Amino acid sequence: MNQRILMKGNEVIAEAAVRAGCRHYFGYPITPQTEIMHYMAHRMIEAGGVMVQAESEVAAINMVYGAAAAGARVMTSSSSPGISLKQEGFSYIAGAELPAVVVNIVRSGPGLGGILPAQGDYFQATKGGGHGDYRNIVLAPASIQELYELTVDAFNLAERYRMLTMIFGDGTLGQMMEPVLFREEEPINRPDRPWAVTGTQGRREHNTVQSIYIEADDLEQVNLRLQAKYHEVAAQETRYETVGCDDAEIIVVAFGTCSRISRNVIRQAADEGIKVGLVRPITLWPFPEHILDQLSQKGHVRAFLDIELNSGQMLEDVRLAVNGRRPVHFLGRMGGNLPTQKEILEKIREIAGRS
């Protein structure tokens, strides 16, 4: 039974959500993530769940807000312009402390931009996006197998911390096919949800789900509680992968699709006698600053190279973590273009003084 199946990234996300116990999906079509909706349209019926095609991304995220308030495992998915529209709901979900999973299969911008892959929504995803002091947990898978596993994790994290958890993919991951191995059954351990609106059933006082607090002291207390939660998430849930960092002279920092390309270049650089390591953030928020801080203090590390599908957004977080101790170089492509292995190798040679 446990055999690998060849599947498209977007469909894996949808299947993973259903396996994780998600029975409510609200969406609106946008390329390059629409296969998630297509898959949900039949799969939710089979699973006894609900799929609603909303009138807009704004409506979809507010349906998510309602379903989450009602205590359901709920998801929506979109791509960059649609995610911009959903920001209002993200802020309310953060304020009301509701669990929800959002998928962003990032395309290139700004504006309507293009439908090709990009990582230009990094700031939006990790620094807030909507109004107010809040954070989302942001997971950045780099393979189809990881899309599956992180989608399942996203539901658990969302409910554990009552936070919006985002799967931050890009058009490449959404559209490509790779073998995926599904576990036979997902263990679903949902925390109690005494805060949910279910009707009082005459058994308790009435519940309210809200994000508004008119009194300054009340609202400050809410914010202090949120910040304490975010600190706990940063302490408990920061994830990253390192490859060959023990003796590397150059550390590449890249996530998602960029990390896949970079991984191949590490071997090619080694053939030329340049020791290159990779730090791959798996959580973009909380950002794995600690490992970069540590590496920047190692004698063997001479420089960092940040590679992204944007103009250098994570770069700011890398520089903050490195804190001026080592030079941080940058290689980025935009508009839907991907950096080639050759481009990356040339940049590494240049940093190593071998060009």
Partner 1 sequence: MEKVFARTKGLTDKPFHYCPGCTHGIIHRLIAEVMCELDILDETIGVSSVGCTYNNYEYFACDMVQAAHGRAPAVATGIKRVHPDNMVFTYQGDGDLAAIGTAEIIHAAARGEKICTFFANNAVYGMTSGQMAPTTLLGQVTTTSPFGRDADLQGYPINVCEMLATLPGAVYLERVKVTDFKSIQQAKKAIRKAFRVQQQRLGFALVEILSTCPTNWGKSPAESLAWVDQVMVPQYPLGVFRGADLEVDA
Residues forming the site for partner 1 (CB under 8 A): 24, 26, 50, 52, 54-56, 58-60, 62-72, 74, 88-89, 92, 96, 197-202, 206-212, 214
Dihedral angle sign, alpha carbons of residues 242, 3, 141, 129: negative
Residue 51 CB, nearest approach to partner 1 (Å)? 10
Residue 167 CB, nearest approach to partner 1 (Å)? 20
Residue 23 CB, nearest approach to partner 1 (Å)? 9
Q: Which is nearer to partner 1, 74 or 250 (CB)?
A: 74
Burial of 210 (0-12, 13-18, 19+ CB in 10 A): exposed
CA distance 36 to 13: 7
User: With contact defined as beta carbons under 8 Å apart, do 249 and 275 qualify?
Assistant: yes
Q: Which is nearer to partner 1, 60 or 116 (CB)?
A: 60
2-24 b/e (C-beta count within 10 Å ≥ 16 → b):
eeeeebbbbbbbbbbbbbbbbbb
Q: Which is nearer to partner 1, 88 or 346 (CB)?
A: 88
Q: Which is nearer to partner 1, 164 or 279 (CB)?
A: 164
CA distance 277 to 267: 10
CA distance 129 to 285: 13
Residue keyed to tokens 């299947």: 15
Residue 272 CB, nearest approach to partner 1 (Å)? 55
Three-class secondary structure of residue 270 per DSSP:
helix
Residue 21 CB, nearest approach to partner 1 (Å)? 13
Q: Which is nearer to partner 1, 53 or 268 (CB)?
A: 53
Q: Which is nearer to partner 1, 1 or 214 (CB)?
A: 214
CA distance 306 to 232: 27
Three-class secondary structure of residue 26 per DSSP:
strand
What are phi and psi for residue 63, nearest 5 degrees? -65, -40
Q: How far is CA 25 from CA 22, 130, 140, 272, in A?
A: 8, 22, 21, 50
User: With contact defined as beta carbons under 8 Å apart, do 322 and 293 qualify?
Assistant: yes
Residue 6 CB, nearest approach to partner 1 (Å)? 33
Residue 91 CB, nearest approach to partner 1 (Å)? 9
Residue 196 CB, nearest approach to partner 1 (Å)? 9
